[in-house]
Amino acid sequence: AQTVTQSQPEMSVQEAETVTLSCTYDTSESNYYLFWYKQPPSRQMILVIRQEAYKQQNATENRFSVNFQKAAKSFSLKISDSQLGDTAMYFCAFMKHGFSNTGNQFYFGTGTSLTVIP
Amino acid sequence: DAGVTQSPTHLIKTRGQQVTLRCSPISGHKSVSWYQQVLGQGPQFIFQYYEKEERGRGNFPDRFSARQFPNYSSELNVNALLLGDSALYLCASSPIPPSYEQYFGPGTRLTVT
């Protein structure tokens, strides 16, 4: 079974500063995907960044970057130059590569509520 | 292009009643997945459907059922509602699975009283 753990229920950061959200996961799979999703208050979940496990290079998307440590099963998200619009719940998620008999599903962590302070 | 749409937006039901939630995937997407997100928790996988067939089921009781129609839209049904079924129900669509591309709808907020 796959599990995803986010140990920081709440975090805050000053506008324009940098913040790092932590995520660890447990799996016996060797090929998989990892994601960070953002869920603003009362709005739908949107993809922030994706990492393929077979790629050693850390993914980046503008102000968002990840630190992927496969051996440690760690996948942290760094947000640089934080903006007020970054205030949201952030979920770390895992997906196995390929089909499985339990579906092509996400396994989500419990989320980190991030508040950007003006 | 329209994203994933879900209806209704909000719903209030009484314990023991039945509810049907609807989802329309992104045009061209053939797979729909359903997730339950209880307040303060991450989404939990309920079902995945592809080509009108169930391709995966999470750890939910038989009170939960779903189906997919020829136009790839989907319905989630929950019978004999319990207070614990109160949650945000999310639909996600993806192209032909397996695919890491899953796009979420805005969800249906179900409150059971």
pLDDT digits (tens, 9 = 90+) for B24-46: 999 999 999 999 999 889 999 99
Q: Residue B110's pLDDT is what?
A: 97
Give the CATH number, domain containing residue A46.
2.60.40.10
- Contact in structure between B36 and B104 (CB atoms under 8 Å): no
- Position B81 pLDDT exceeds 90: yes
d(CA B52, CA B68): 5
| A111 at interface of B, judged by CB pairs closer than 8 A | yes
Q: Residue A64's pLDDT is what?
A: 98
d(CA B110, CA B89): 7
Cβ separation A103–B104 shorter than 8 A: no
Q: Residue A42's pLDDT is what?
A: 74
Q: Residue B76's pLDDT is what?
A: 98
What's the structural domain count of chain A?
Answer: 1
Round the average pLDDT of chain B to a whole number and report it: 93
Confidence of residue B107 (pLDDT cuts 50, 70, 90): very high
d(CA A25, CA A10): 19
Question: Nearest Cβ partner of B43 from A98, A101, A108?
Answer: A108
d(CA A47, CA B104): 9
- Position B1 pLDDT exceeds 70: no
Cβ separation A102–B56 shorter than 8 A: yes
Average pLDDT by consecutive 10-residue portion of chain A (118 residues)? 93 98 94 94 88 92 96 97 96 84 82 97
Indicate the CATH number for domain B5-112.
2.60.40.10
Question: Which residues of chain B make contact with A35, given a CB cutoff of 8 A?
Answer: 100
Q: Residue A4's pLDDT is what?
A: 96
Question: Which residues of chain A make contact with B92, given a CB cutoff of 8 A?
Answer: 106
Contacts of B55 (CB under 8 A, 6+ apart): A99, A103, A104, B31, B48, B49, B97
Position with higher pLDDT, B105 vs B56: B105
Tell me how close the Cα of A110 comes to any Cα of chain B, in angstroms. 4
A10: domain range?
3-117
Element (H, E) at B64: strand B64-68
| B109 at interface of A, judged by CB pairs closer than 8 A | no
Residue in B closest to A91 by C-alpha: B42
Q: Residue A44's pLDDT is what?
A: 86
How many C-beta atoms lie closer than 10 Å to residue B3's C-beta? Answer: 15
